[in-house]
Amino acid sequence: MKTRMSKAPRASSKSKAMTVFPRITPTLAIIATALVLVSCATPRAPMPVPPGPASASVPVRPEAAAQAPAVMRGKSRWVPVAWSELPGFESDALFEAWNAWLKSCERPGPAFAPLCGEVRRLSIATGDEQRAWMTRRLQPYRVETLQGQADGLLTSYYEPLFKASRQPGNGYAVPLYQPPAGLGGRKPWYTRQEIETLPEAQAALRGREIAWLADPVDAMSLHIQGSGRLAVTEADGVQRTVRVAFAGSNEQPFRSITQWLVDQGQGRMAAPWTESTKTWAAQNPQRVSQLLWSNPRYIFFREEALTEMDAAFGPRGAQGVPLTPGRSIAVDRESIPYGTPVWLASRGAAADLQKLVIAQDTGSAIIGAVRADYFAGTGPQAGELASRVNQPLRLWVLWPK
């Protein structure tokens, strides 16, 4: 579902240690995840991702070049390679990714629809059987920029989980809104500051409240991720958990509040950004509104019931299917189509990842050929991981032969 935000916003937008990227999924995550069913990857042998951006593309192996021609796809170039180029391919627990692949087969694109019957049958196969099928039916392509650079950037997003109340009061004073009537009639709609100060904007939103949060920084986190879960106390005192998903925006530009703090001379904020920002807000209560208004982008939500089955997955991404913790990524759809299986390799202080993932979401900050946003899961643990991931990346799309 992270802002993630306009198009098919993604389920969740970005929360980075330094600059918080919007990740809104028209759907739109926290990814009680258990870290997404443990989205963290098991440490593996070093992979061929250099510590910094490369100035040239990786040369194409002769045996790979003979298999298929390079493909130009929007902002990217796909270069055919041998399976041996994919770091960690022989050791990944593919069955974890198969759950995400099955979800994509609920809304497959034309290239993968013919394979979905086989994908479903292989859901109970062994890892070796799944690997053998992949090498037989798919061709790996290294994703590069049009200029031939194979190194890019990986960030991460998640689905937040916050306490909320159906009624304002007792410390709950920050509303989450459904879209106002006639939202599309005025583009862009009011800015964040105008929404909170202009009588006409407030009148348009009266009665559209879903619930109230206690902390404005938590509310901003939901706006950035694009969706989340609320442990809400109903008017009768009953407590239950619901999901709020992206339902629209004011179509104002996104501005990073952490970058605003840097511009104000605060220096780099420690991760996770929400906690460091809350600390700053507690020390500067008179400037909290100024901080929040620095991001004119405002997100509206819709409430969704959360069944026991839904709880294992994140919000729906731009592909229209629920995200799988640790196995779904957001991409630039002009470079990689939704539903495409992708081999991801990224090494950094936050995570060492070499694994099969599925492109199922997008986000306004996810732009470029070698660019991905990793869905970490739901809840605080996933949020901590997501706030720390900002590291080198290489991608290989796995396309039907």
Which CATH number goes with the domain that contains 24? 2.40.40.10
Residue 242 lies in a domain: yes
For residues 146-183, one letter each, b for 16 or more C-beta atoms within 10 angstroms of the residue's C-beta and e for the rest, the string is eeebbbbbbbbbbbbbbbbbbeeeeebebbbbbbbeeb
Question: In 3D, which of 280, 158, 156 has the Cα closest to residue 217?
Answer: 280
Q: Is pLDDT of 377 > 90?
A: yes
Residue 50 lies in a domain: no
- pLDDT score of 6: 38
Residue 52 lies in a domain: no
- pLDDT score of 276: 87
Residue 146 lies in a domain: no
Q: What is the pLDDT of residues 315-345, one digit of tens each?
A: 999 999 999 999 999 999 999 999 999 999 9
Given pLDDT bands bounded at 50, 70 and 90, which one contains residue 281? very high
More confident site: 275 or 189: 189
Residue 51 lies in a domain: no
Distance of CA 251 to the CA centre of its chain: 19
Residue 145 lies in a domain: no
Taking a C-beta distance cutoff of 8 angstroms, is the pair 366, 331 a contact? yes
Total domains in the chain come to 1
Residue 55 lies in a domain: no
Residue 215 is part of which domain span? 1-44+61-137+151-401
Residue 143 lies in a domain: no
Q: Is pLDDT of 32 > 80?
A: no
Q: What is the pLDDT of residues 387-400, one digit of tens each?
A: 899 999 999 999 99
